[in-house]
Amino acid sequence: GGEDALNTTIINFNNEKMQITWAARELFPKENVSFFYTFGEGKNKVWKPCTTYLLDQDYNSGCLFKTEGPTLTISIRNSNGSDELFSKNLKADFYIKPSPPENVTFFWKEDTVTVSCNKPERNAWCLRLELQYKSKFDKEWQSRTSKCCSIGEQGFDPRKCYSFRVRLRRLVPHCNVVTYSSDWAAETFWMNGTLLDSCDDDITPQSKTVIILSCSLAVLLMMLILLILLCKWQRVQMSVLPVIPDPKYPFADLFNDHNGNLQEWLDKNDHVVLQTKLEYEEPESITEAESQQEDGKNSDKQGPLEKIFTFSGAAENNDGKAAEIACLIPASNTTPPFAGFHIIMNDDMYVML
């Protein structure tokens, strides 16, 4: 703003300080110019040299000085100030850039928010208060403008977090010849009338509790599913690949006492095996004998029955030969004796010896 033929820019900071800049490298490429200014009029002009220069590559490109009145005259001269290269008269009040709004307050009522700030002491009617806001789901700012120094807006969702910022803007062309707005005031974050540090903090304690409970339930459910899958996998594994028993447990003495020497273990445990075998055979023989006696008693009533007798011939054989099993087919209607009993046999009966 404030550009003219020499590309000068004029800013009056809240009617307190003036800043005049120019394109030094384009306008005066071979000379480092000097700057003078005055707020006087007519014969009362008193030129003051610039004391605070703005530099561009070590060349004077601007001047910063105090605002002392509404009318300003500037003069750009050569390096020693003898020749004037450019001059201009202007109204300093037409180049005011306001300061950011002070003491900004927010008043919430349901879905309506009212924003206000302190009213400037001078020319408040020349200012407009601009409000911008957006939720965390919006990409661009929503903008509203009102008279200084209060503005209201409706339609805010209490479930959303909003960012707010405000600034003052100078009216054109009634008060300024260029559009100057103040810098934005500090951005604030609100949710349903509650001030937050940022919109990342809009998770309430209740929602945090819900999230923690949900995560815990999810973890427990996953553990239960894994346990079920593990049990089923063990069943499948046992059915497809059955476990081969480890022989060192049934035959612990074979590996612990004889270091796996089978022949030594057999020689030592031969009498144990034989004794165990006899213990198991004797009850069987007694049971068979009793069964045979009962069958002999009932033979007269029930008719001819098939009788099977087992003898351990190996124990009675003096030569040490194994017992032989023979199927004898007696003649019809014979009566073989056995243990004092006479058994009537026909052609369809046989005796196992």
Q: What was the pLDDT predicted at 145?
A: 92
CA distances from 90 to 95, 187, 243, 246 (A): 9, 35, 103, 108
Burial bucket for residue 248 (CB in 10 Å: 0-12, 13-18, 19+) = exposed
- The mean per-residue pLDDT over the stretch 94-108 comes to 92
Which helix (H) or strand (E) segment holds residue 175: the answer is: none
| End-to-end C-alpha distance for the chain, whole angstroms | 132
Q: What is the pLDDT of residues 281-335, one digit of tens each?
A: 444 444 454 555 555 555 444 444 344 334 444 344 444 444 444 444 444 455 5
- Which domains are present in the chain? 8-97 (2.60.40.10), 105-196 (2.60.40.10)
Task: Over range 136-164, report the average pLDDT.
Answer: 89
- The predicted-structure confidence for 230-271, as pLDDT tens digits, reads as follows 887 777 767 766 666 665 556 666 667 767 777 777 777 765
Contacts 24+ apart (CB under 8 A), 333-342: 338/292, 338/296, 338/309, 339/293, 341/293, 341/296
User: Please, what is the Cα angle at 35 between 31 and 39, to 5 degrees?
Assistant: 165
Q: Note the pLDDT of residue 264.
A: 77
Please give the single-letter amino acid code of residue 158.
P
The stretch 70-86 carries a mean pLDDT of 88
Tens-digit pLDDT profile for residues 8-60: 899 999 989 999 998 887 888 878 899 999 998 777 788 999 999 998 888 89
Quick one: average pLDDT of 119-125?
Answer: 86
pLDDT the model gives residue 43: 74
Q: SS3 for 238?
A: helix
Nearest to 97 by CA among 71, 67, 131: 67
Q: Count CA atoms closer than 13 A to 238's CA, side-chain side.
A: 6
Residues 6+ apart with CB under 8 A from 102: 117, 118
Q: Is the pLDDT of residue 157 over 60?
A: yes
User: CB-based contacts of 253: which residues, under 8 Å, 6+ apart?
Assistant: 265, 269
Whole-number CA gyration radius for the chain: 58
Asked if 193 and 199 touch (Cβ cutoff 8 Å), the reply is no
DSSP-assigned states of every residue in 271-320: HHHHHHHHHHHHHHHHHHHHHHHHHHHTHHHH----------HHHH-TT-
pLDDT of residue 138: 86
Residue 84, pLDDT above cutoff 80: yes
d(CA 111, CA 153): 9
**Residue 82 pLDDT grade (very low, low, confident, very high; cuts 50, 70, 90):** confident
CA distance 39 to 44: 9
Look at residue 231 in the predicted model and tell me its pLDDT: 82
